[in-house]
Amino acid sequence: MTSTTTLCISHGEDADGLICATYMRLLKDAALILATYDELIDALKSVRPPVEEVYICDMNLRKDLIGEIERIRGFASMTLVDHHPTQEGILEQLREMGVTVIHDTRDCASVLLYDRYREELGRDAGRLAAYGAWADQFEDGPIATGLLREYDRQFTQLEALMLAYALTRDQTPEFRGPIVEGLSGLDYPHRISGVYETALAHLEEMAEIVEVLPKICERLNVMAYCETPDGKPIGTVAGLIVDAIGTKVGLCYVVKDDGRVNISLRSRRGLDYHLGEITREIAERVGGFGGGHKRASGASIPHSSLDQFIQGFADRL
């Protein structure tokens, strides 16, 4: 029976976040909220007694969320497990409020969580963290490097990519819920209902996107950008822009019904600049928020600021 006193709010859009949620189900039988960044504030506002402990996993906390964190700390313990570069002073502020912070930008969140509870979870559950490392492209992290030696490299990589592709194509609760249940039973992703077929459909979709991108992308300095074609996942498209156009950075955006724009950026390996830091700086300058990792980042900004964001980003590269 799912706990009424333990809650996990985890990133629901990728394998790393879902694996964190799976670990919290295994460790605490926690109730789960799988959230996007747009949904995070409402997820926090929904937390009320009798909840006594809250885990926030694979979510980059912003200054505008601190008030809700402080409110929840009035009746519940809190733990943050994350690997995103965070606004200056946020982690220190959380620690001062009594939040347990498990944070390292060098490994993905599921690897950090597994490493903290390795003894309780056991070796077989470590395979899930290996999936998270591959799917989030953090296979070179200091913890992940040792962890991946424990398992067959190609087998875990293929399972991880299949899981990542399936979750990218179908992010509905009806699809994600059974995946968490399957992973909680330590099932291999390809054996979880719908994962193989959905991943294969996403692979074909990626091939089609690569074929259309040269026709719709605009180049600006060392990056290229476009609005997402036919509602395709913007993170996928941003990565494929680098492939199809041969540029260093790809940017893809989607205009939301509420008048905001969600943006994803991806870059080649081996570049000096840090996409997450640049994204956060420019997004805040134009009235939005954003951040991420060295080679993958995202932002949410007002639609009226889109051109300013794109030009500002290109000027920084």
- Topology of 217-316 in CATH? Diaminopimelate Epimerase; Chain A, domain 1 (3.10.310)
* pLDDT category of residue 80 using cuts at 50, 70 and 90: very high
**Taking residues 250-277, what's their average pLDDT?**
93
Whether the pLDDT of residue 115 is over 80: the answer is yes
Inter-axis angle of helices 173-184 and 15-28, to 10 degrees? Answer: 50
Q: How far apart are CA 270 and CA 167, in angstroms?
A: 27
Q: Where in the chain is the domain with CATH 3.10.310.40?
A: 217-316
- Res 178: pLDDT: 96
pLDDT at position 257 over 80: yes
Report the chain's mean pLDDT, rounded to a whole number.
95
Task: Express as a percent the part of the chain with pLDDT over 70.
Answer: 100
User: Quick one: how many helices (H) and strands (E) in the chain?
Assistant: 14, 11
CA distances from 101 to 32, 203, 250 (A): 19, 37, 32
Most distant pair of Cα atoms in the chain: their distance: 55
Tokens of 165: 């592709």
Average pLDDT over residues 76-92: 95
For residue 208, is pLDDT > 90? yes
Assess whether pLDDT exceeds 70 at residue 227. Answer: yes
pLDDT of amino acid 250: 97
pLDDT-derived band of residue 209, with 50, 70 and 90 as boundaries? very high
Residue range(s) of every CATH 3.90.1640.30 domain in the chain: 6-197
DSSP state of 3: -
pLDDT at 170 over 90: yes
CATH no. of 6-197: 3.90.1640.30
pLDDT for 1: 59
> What was the pLDDT predicted at 275?
94
Q: Omega into 50 within 30° of 0, i.e. cis?
A: yes
pLDDT at position 2, please? Answer: 74
Is residue 245 within 8 A of residue 265, CB to CB? The reply is: no
Mean pLDDT of 224-252: 95
